[in-house]
Amino acid sequence: MTIAKKPIYFLTVLAIVFSSFTAFAGGGETSGKEGQINTQEGINAYIKHHLADSHDFTLFSYTNDAGERKHVGFPLPVIVWTSKGLKTFMSSAFHHNDDGHVVVEKDGVKLAKIHSKIYELEEGAEHVSFDEHHHATNAHKALDFSITKSVMGMLLAGLLMFLGFGSLARGYKKGAIPTGVGRVLEPLVLYVRDEIARPNIGEKHYRKFMGFLLTVFFFIWILNLMGLTPLGFNVTGQIAVTVCLALFTFIIVQFSGNKDYWKHIFWMPNVPIPMKIILAPIEVLGMLTKPFALLIRLFANMTAGHFVVMSLIALMITLKSQFGAVGSTGLSLALALFISVIEILVAFLQAFIFTMLSSLFIGMAVEEHDHH
């Protein structure tokens, strides 16, 4: 059974790399021949597009015999709050155009998508006008509540967690040893409990925070793994997502802090009064730097991982003149395969680090000190 799994893991990673290769060959921004990315500017634009969120779900793109650009995927709901209230429609109304030239009129409100952001045009405007810096001069951002690609990824991760933990709960009702998916989840749940929650929070308080720690760990881990699939999710590479996760940790820490926690921040015991006055602002600043470190660490590592993989795949284009088509493709796929294997480890590692640091901060807040 162990031997049989090894080819599966290898083929999975290989599929990831080849799917990215296919995307480079026929997707994203074009330069040179229609439908191909063959310049450094086109590569940089494609990587930037891949890392950003999107209002539609595109699996791949191609150019037909008539020279028309075709996208295979499906649109997502656009939900925006405008000056005339809530407006909803499907993202296909923008015709996959990100430069603002496609204007959608909905109940008297004209909307355009500019660099994946939805803008509302001023009254009477028929198209978007830009200044020398390509900033819209006759439109302003609408309040966007759309179901974007990242939102869809989070909903899918939540559904997988609901089904997985539901299976684990039903398994425990049948007996002490769960079956099916629950048997896979149980060691991870025990690992979070025994190696993260108990040592950092303590035997007395850890149960209270297990629900949050398990949710954060599996949510980040599943999203990171989804980012390595051909679906192209980059949810944990969105700064808004990591800010929200870190904000939850910050709120839980502050509301769970006991009197000793607050005493050590504002009026440290057994410290001279002049030093207390000096150290108090530093401790308050430390309250804010802890969640900031959480959000930046997760965001930066996952974004860098995607960027490196896509850049290595792009070597088949940039090194084509030096090594030829076969040599550059072989080198690019070998390096991308190696980094993709590392990324599988990083996907788990980042979920572990975020959960471990969250439990450490919570443990510092609920720890009971014995002052003499």
- Span 166-196, pLDDT tens digits: 888 888 887 777 777 888 888 899 999 999 9
* pLDDT at position 11: 46
- Give 13-37 pLDDT, tens digit per residue: 444 444 444 444 444 444 444 445 5
pLDDT tens string 193-236: 999 999 999 888 899 999 999 999 999 999 999 888 877 788 88
Q: Does 117 share its domain with 229? A: no
Residues of the chain above pLDDT 70, percent: 76
Which residues constitute the domain of residue 126?
Answer: 77-146
224 & 357 share domain: yes
pTM of the shown model? 0.80
Q: Is the residue at 58 inside a domain?
A: no
Q: Are 172 and 181 in contact, with CB atoms under 8 Å apart?
A: no
Using an 8 Å Cβ cutoff, are 121 and 25 in contact? no
Q: Are 102 and 94 in contact (CB under 8 A)?
A: yes
Beta-strand pair 69-75/56-63: antiparallel
Which residues, in sequence order, are CB contacts of 340 under 8 Å at separation 6+? 13, 16, 17, 228, 309
Phi, psi of 152 (to 5 degrees): -60, -40
Domain boundary among 146, 175, 206: 146
DSSP structural state of residue 178: -
| Start-to-end Cα distance in the chain | 59
Query: Does 7 fall in a domain?
Result: no
Residue 216 included in any domain: yes
Predicted local distance difference test score (pLDDT) of residue 323: 56
333 lies in a domain? yes
88 vs 147: CA distance, rounded Å: 11
Cα 214 to Cα 208: distance, rounded to the nearest angstrom: 12
Please check whether residues 207 and 236 belong to one and the same domain. yes
Q: Cβ of 99: how many Cβ atoms within 10 Å?
A: 12
pLDDT digits (tens, 9 = 90+) for 268-302: 777 788 887 888 888 888 888 988 999 998 888 88
Higher pLDDT, 155 or 7: 155
Residue 104 shares a structural domain with residue 202: no
C-alpha to C-alpha distance for 105 and 93, rounded to whole angstroms = 10
37's CB contacts (< 8 A; 6+ apart) are 24, 25, 27, 28, 29, 30, 31, 43, 46, 314, 317
247: in domain = yes
